[in-house]
Chains A and B, each alone.
Chain A
Amino acid sequence: AQSVTQPDIHITVSEGASLELRCNYSYGATPYLFWYVQSPGQGLQLLLKYFSGDTLVQGIKGFEAEFKRSQSSFNLRKPSVHWSDAAEYFCARRDNYGQNFVFGPGTRLSVLP
């Protein structure tokens, strides 16, 4: 079955430090890939997406992600984390055979002052 994995359940970084959140997907055909952020008690906000073309995509709030086919990965990065970035981050792919999204389990980001 198609799946999305996020190996890190919880990550803690200091404010100002760099960040990388990992995401791996299964099944080879180039998928549509997304990163969403969810603040506590809120809905999901789209950070960025990859469909095709340049493998490094820029998103909102200073985030970027790089698609690496050879590693089946789509890791999210930010060079300098702000306290307001503390949230839950979800990687997702669009299902190859339908319209629904398959989500990873999420990575919770904590930011130390």
Chain B
Amino acid sequence: NAGVMQNPRHLVRRRGQEARLRCSPMKGHSHVYWYRQLPEEGLKFMVYLQKENIIDESGMPKERFSAEFPKEGPSILRIQQVVRGDSAAYFCASSPPTGGETQYFGPGTRLLVL
């Protein structure tokens, strides 16, 4: 049973470009969470999704950031017009349909904005 998969593992973008991060949850999991980890800091919650629904986006910046979890395919975190401050590690976690008692994390995508 494969764990949570994220790709790419590393992503380099220039200011103003778009970054698209993908997350495939563990098999059988239908809840996906995105977190951001700035250098030397802990993880901060961004958004919680179920299939085709955004449940909680209270941690998402109001502009440039969006997330989706379509019926088919991975969850996508999209950052438009990236700025240097977006450089961080972005982690995806998933949990089973029974709820979020335990979240299982992917290896992360490390975004560097030049």
**In the complex, residue of chain A having the shortest beta-carbon distance to the beta carbon of B56:** A98
Q: How far is the CB of B90 from chain A (nearest CB, A)?
A: 11
Q: How far is the CB of A108 from chain B (nearest CB, A)?
A: 9
Indicate if the CB atoms of B48 and A46 lie closer than 8 Å: no
> B105's contact among A36, A94, A100, by CB below 8 Å, is which?
A36
Question: Of residues 3 to 43 in B, which have CB atoms within 8 Å of A's CB atoms?
Answer: 4, 6, 31, 33, 35, 41-43
A34 within 8 A of B: yes
Number of interface residues of B (CB under 8 A): 29
B-chain residues with CB within 8 Å of residue A92 when the two chains form the complex: 43
Q: How far is the CB of A45 from chain B (nearest CB, A)?
A: 8
Measured as residues with beta carbon below 8 angstroms from the partner, the interface class of chain A is 20 to 34
Counted as pairs of residues, one from A and one from B, with CB atoms less than 8 Å apart, the total is 62
Alpha-carbon distance A62/B91, docked complex (angstroms) = 26
B54 within 8 A of A: no
Q: How far is the CB of A44 from chain B (nearest CB, A)?
A: 4
- A41-70 vs B, CB cutoff 8 Å, 1 = contact: the mask equals 111111001010000000000000000000
B102 within 8 A of A: yes
Known contacts: A51-B101, A99-B55. The answer to whether A104 contacts B42 by CB under 8 A is yes
A74 within 8 A of B: no
Indicate if the CB atoms of B41 and A105 lie closer than 8 Å: yes
A-chain residues with CB within 8 Å of residue B55 when the two chains form the complex: 99
Q: What 3 A-B pairs have minimum CB-CB distances, sorted nearest first?
A: A99-B100, A100-B45, A43-B107
